[in-house]
Amino acid sequence: MTISSASASVSTVPVPGSTAPDFSLENQFGEVVSLAEVLEKTPVVLVFFPLAFTGICTQELCELRDNLALFEHAGATLLGVSVDSKATLRAFADREGYEFSLLADFWPHGEVARQYGVFRDDRGIATRGSFVIGQDGRIVSSFVNEPGQARSFEEYQAALALLGS
């Protein structure tokens, strides 16, 4: 899948079968979360979202929160990523009751989103990119929506089913 270069700084979104770019970012508690270290234990569902405290982002993450058992049943770790600061993400997680890590791709601004081809230079935010990553570090499934378009929860269900195959 590609995003036009007018909207994203990196035009190619990693496709299923490709190696997921590794990274380390701080979560809302200031703890460093390394993709490689998490993958040593579980597959990962990486969810990029534009900004905390915004309508669609809040709705999407609340739906993930309310269905966290689906991810746990699949043995996967859910990680949210935005360009917000860790303090903003902490307040957001506290207000909404998120029990999964929200990672701050704050500085260098949007660097990890760029690695995944989902950063929008024109708006300074990530698009709604989701990546299911197997323990071997390869992308099992990916889907990307523009900032104003919510993702379908059915896409997550279908992607998680691929982890078992």
CATH code for the domain in which residue 53 is found: 3.40.30.10
Return d(Cα 124, Cα 60) in angstroms, integer.
Answer: 20
Q: Which of 47, 23, 6 is nearest to 145 (CA)?
A: 47
Establish if 62 belongs to a structural domain: yes
pLDDT score of 1 more than 60: no
- pTM for the whole thing? 0.91
pLDDT digit string (tens) for 50-88?
999 999 999 999 999 999 999 999 999 999 999 999 999
Establish if 8 belongs to a structural domain: no
Comparing 14-28, 57-71, 72-86, 151-165, the range with the smallest average pLDDT is 151-165
Establish if 137 belongs to a structural domain: yes
By the 10 Å C-beta count (0-12 exposed, 13-18 middle, 19+ buried), 162 is classed as middle
- Give the model's pLDDT for residue 10: 44
Peptide linkage before 108 cis (omega within 30 of 0) = yes
Establish if 73 belongs to a structural domain: yes
- How far does CA 39 lie from the centroid of its chain? 14
Establish if 86 belongs to a structural domain: yes
Beta-bridge partner residues of 103: 27, 81
- Give the model's pLDDT for residue 6: 38
Which residues span the domain enclosing 117? 24-163
- Number of domains within the chain: 1
Establish if 16 belongs to a structural domain: no
Establish if 10 belongs to a structural domain: no
Establish if 9 belongs to a structural domain: no
* Active-site residue list: 57
Per-residue pLDDT, averaged over 80-97, amounts to 98
